[in-house]
Amino acid sequence: MRHPYDFYPTPVALTDVLLDSVPELSGLAVEPCAGNGAMADALRRSGRLTRITTNDILPSFGCTTTSDARDPAAAVWQGAADWVITNPPFTWAGEILANAWAYAGKGVAMLLRLTFLEPTVARAALLQQIAPFLSDIIVFGQPRPSFTDNRHTDSVTTAWLVWQKGWNQGTRVRFAVGWAGRESRCPENGR
């Protein structure tokens, strides 16, 4: 049984791996699917982002705004931001990515199932349009992340997909092995 609104909180260690792997993340950020704010809190603690605005479709979380990130006219897409960083509901990820890409000044980082890169009818055109700007794929290995209270893991590989506007340096692919231990994150980062 799926959780309402696909609410599956992001383990802090996954956000830490993103921050360790993508040095370009800085400035103003929006977390459009913030839920309980765990990811936004990790981004704040890093000190690299000067402001993080939070949004969720559910008002009970107390985010900066409450709106549906699938709607391009939603409150979350008002104002300015350099980055959109989120773990969106997978069912709505294509719509949210389209809005995030149109809105972000510098780029978008989304935690998604790796299968999101499959060019389905619903997202093929968008994926093709932004493919040249795919700067990073950060794939999580064993153990697979758990997004549930019972520590069961998903049967599909999870990855950070990062698109940067104006990016023309190819895609950096990293494998986050042993990511659950703070001393062992992405091997390329010396941790």
Report the CATH number at residue 114. Answer: 3.40.50.150
> What's the number of domains the chain is made of?
1
| Encoded tokens for 173 | 């692919």
Question: What is the pLDDT, as a whole number, of residue 191?
Answer: 28
Type of residue at 43: L
For the residues of 68-108, what is the DSSP string, one character each?
Answer: -TTSTTSGGGSS--SEEEE---GGGHHHHHHHHHHH-SSEE
Evaluate whether residue 43 is within a structural domain: yes
Domain ranges, residue 151: 6-189
Evaluate whether residue 167 is within a structural domain: yes
Evaluate whether residue 82 is within a structural domain: yes
Residue with tokens 């064993």: 142
Evaluate whether residue 1 is within a structural domain: no
pLDDT for 27 beyond 70: yes
The per-residue pLDDT for range 74-98, each reduced to its tens digit, is 999 999 999 999 999 988 999 999 9
Predicted TM-score (pTM) of this structure: 0.88
Report the percentage of the chain scoring pLDDT > 70.
Answer: 84
Q: Tell me if residue 42 falls in helix, strand or coil.
A: helix
Question: What is the pLDDT, as a whole number, of residue 188?
Answer: 39
More confident residue, 97 or 181: 97
